[in-house]
């Protein structure tokens, strides 16, 4: 089953669980974000990635650019462990990991969560690739992915136990839009999957197709 089909099942579950007003608020927020053009402003194909040195869940610093010396890297920006769509995406990439490694590539996930929550996300999803903690969204911002949630979303996220200050360690209420980049050994973006609608994610099959063409 492709990732989009799994996501659709979660969407259907949300539709049953949320009130009509809350569901409409979420849809309105997605529409505004899509219309803002943020996704189109993110780093483009052919551009080089910025410096990317971040801690993992054990506070060990990882330099993504140093990983590129030997092989291409998939960089996947996700929102956090509280986001069911993010967990689906991370698990989908875990399932695809043997094929990614067969193409002599690596994958790394980045979110604004604190290292403790980064570690718990890694453990809960039983991942075998690195997750990094971008507290303050500094790296996500350099990729052009960051936005601030509206006051209505702050209220709604708190209502459903998704209070970002608890997970991210600050009160900025900022998130990255989900973005997945395939980066070659020279640090140049060769694949780009960015969508301001957080329910739409890069399917590992499509990402692997880009890798296979490098």
Task: Say whether domain 3-212 belongs to CATH 3.30.70.360.
Answer: no
Q: Which tokens sit at 14? A: 């949300």
Considering only CA atoms, which of 134, 156, 151 is closest in space to residue 143? 134
Predicted confidence (pLDDT) at residue 2 exceeds the cutoff of 90: no
Given this model, what pLDDT does residue 176 score? 98
Residues 50-71 have a mean pLDDT of 93
Given this model, what pLDDT does residue 45 score? 98
CA 107 from centre of chain: 12
Total-model pTM: 0.95
Instruction: List Cβ neighbours of 66 (8 Å cut-off, separation of 6 or more).
Output: none
Digit-coded pLDDT (tens) for 153-197: 999 999 988 999 999 999 999 999 999 999 999 999 999 999 999
pLDDT band of 4, cuts 50, 70, 90 = confident
CA dihedral 145, 8, 128, 47 (to 10 degrees): -30
Given this model, what pLDDT does residue 11 score? 82
Considering only CA atoms, which of 183, 180, 50, 65 is closest in space to residue 111? 180
Given this model, what pLDDT does residue 14 score? 75
Residues 20-49 have a mean pLDDT of 95
Q: How far is CA 103 from CA 46, 78, 85, 123, in A?
A: 21, 23, 26, 25
What are the two backbone dihedrals, phi and then psi, of residue 158, each rounded to the nearest 5 degrees?
-65, -40
* 27 neighbors 35 (Cβ within 8 angstroms): no
Domains of the chain: which residue ranges?
Answer: 3-212
Q: What is the DSSP letter of 178?
A: P
pLDDT band of 24, cuts 50, 70, 90 = very high
Token pair 């650019």 is found at 65
């Amino acid at each position: 089953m492709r990732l989009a089909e799994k996501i659709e099942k979660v969407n259907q579950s949300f539709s049953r669980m949320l009130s009509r007003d809350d569901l409409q608020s979420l849809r309105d927020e997605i529409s505004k974000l899509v219309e803002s053009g943020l996704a189109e402003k993110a780093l483009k194909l052919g551009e080089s990635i910025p410096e990317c040195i971040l801690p993992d869940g054990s506070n060990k610093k990882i330099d993504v650019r140093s990983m590129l010396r030997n092989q291409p890297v998939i960089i996947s920006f996700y929102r956090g462990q509280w986001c069911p769509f993010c967990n689906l995406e991370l698990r989908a990439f875990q399932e695809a990991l043997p094929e990614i490694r067969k193409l002599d590539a690596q994958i790394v996930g980045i979110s604004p969560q604190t290292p403790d929550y980064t570690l718990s996300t890694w453990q809960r999803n039983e991942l075998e690739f690195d997750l990094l903690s971008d507290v303050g969204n500094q790296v996500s911002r350099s990729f052009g992915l960051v936005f601030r949630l509206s006051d209505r979303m702050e209220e709604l996220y708190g209502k459903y136990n998704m209070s970002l200050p608890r997970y991210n360690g600050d009160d900025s209420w900022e998130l990255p839009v989900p973005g997945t980049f395939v980066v070659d050994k020279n640090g140049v973006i060769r694949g780009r999957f960015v969508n301001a609608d957080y329910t739409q994610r890069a399917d590992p099959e499509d990402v692997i197709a880009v890798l296979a063409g490098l």
